[in-house]
Structure 1
């Protein structure tokens, strides 16, 4: 029996954080807004479309954003509000399908091959969802509709903001061929630079590469790259995709260089990460320390255990252990981060601890 052609929708909220702030504060409407901190070490978390016309983008240092747009208005993030609005939006998704894969608070994949409500097309479903989001939250969303996740995500960017675009079966390969590699979801700046060095600048260039060539240069990711160059992506929408890591990083107002200051900062980070682990009832066996020096050089160090990390104290001790070989630091640090990965649930952790105890008898 032939499998039905999948119908995938990618919904992406338009300038989500900034749009929420403009919705809730009429004085901000029509003005360039950045969600973030305006301090010297601040970073833009999101920018309104008015700010984007000046070149302001998310992850941009606040001082650079202010230089590009002197009239830029900074507002502090309110993540509890964004999470509540995101829950409203996901409740709308759930009227149409149970196959929802969130990517973040403001975007998700929906598989509507067999929708919960009888609708003739995925295009009609996307249109209804966007109308419901506007009516119930006062916000706008864009949608991409296609037969796989990769193409649906590309399509959602094509008519932003407040639009939708369809890539029907048979159209994907030609659409991808004309696109620059650095616009491909799943190909980051570093990989794009490596591809450019090999003469790969567009989807058409990527399609000309043999699978063996891609494997030689890109390892396990080669199969994915080979497929998307042809408009192919077999990945299913995964409603319960397990989280791979839990972490937090902080950019400091004052550079850190003294060992005591670094250890205090790591202890605070460890408490924050452990709180997130506890809230999600997860812990992990691998701890990663991230440092970014004042010249933006970055390094990471990791250590893996046979059992999940049991406490915030243990997490802080591990971060200190990873820091110690780097001391004395060659230059001050502007950012620190701690991430826990190789996650296990609290129940799995308890079972592992019990087995470990039993092994001593």
Structure 2
């Protein structure tokens, strides 16, 4: 996408970009200088320096985030700031689902699944083909067909997740985490190669759940949001609440936490880690399948690259929030699309790089992520 984004009225927003970037750099530099001064002249003289460093970093991160938000509101205006948030609701929902799947697999398999996006994309292709079948054989409404397609996509990715764990990951039990990552990278090539062979060159599309635009009033500002995004928000909240409730209150959830802590001890306590891991891969696949159908209508035709950007941002969100928790990566899944959307007005070519640079600086300060905790090593 080229050029400056325009407002809903069609008028090009006017910004003082030089002033914005100068202030932005001053904020970042000031935080770094304050940390260095306090660390050298105060923290080094106190006991428990590491603990105090963490508190200082947390405080500076909160201050920095608040300062950047104030800067953005001042530069864009309240209307454009809030409208951008409305525009990014769908992206946040899709990224939250994708990120949760990545973290769930990491917790039980201690590896990052680079094929998460490809698994989701395969589900989207089956969903798109199923919509064509329903269109030709039924009189269902668009929203009914898309909801059924969501179920198909989630089911395909669910089954694929089980197959990958049982027949590939489980066979590589004694392979290192890096080795498993290489395996999942190979799966990306396999799945990407199978899709055109299976579905041919026929262009496939997935319609929106609704094409309506809903007016919204927030903080006195008249905004708008696609009805599709509202449906996506409802689905995402329901799915994640059910999943987190299962992780917290069910035997499977207890098994996931035990396996994530120490797989050998979990086995000694009677936890069937094979089922736990297989279900984690399956549920992660289903989350991706749901996300792909929600994202597909805004990407034009369904292609093998449908979930690539969400895959990348999913890893970034997991790194930013910390792989040791589910809440942290969800915070990352909210912040990344918002920052990308807001910074687009000032640099439509560099906004991704700038966001990733911010994440790099945060990880340098907090290597385990914003909410990360040390994970007990499996023995």
| TM-score higher than 0.5 | no
Calculate the TM-score normalised by the size of structure 2: 0.22
The structure carrying a bigger strand percent of its residues is 1
Compute the TM-score of the two structures, normalised by the length of structure 1.
0.23
- Of structures 1 and 2, the one with the larger relative CO (CA 8 A, separation 6+) is 2
Structure holding more helix per residue: 2
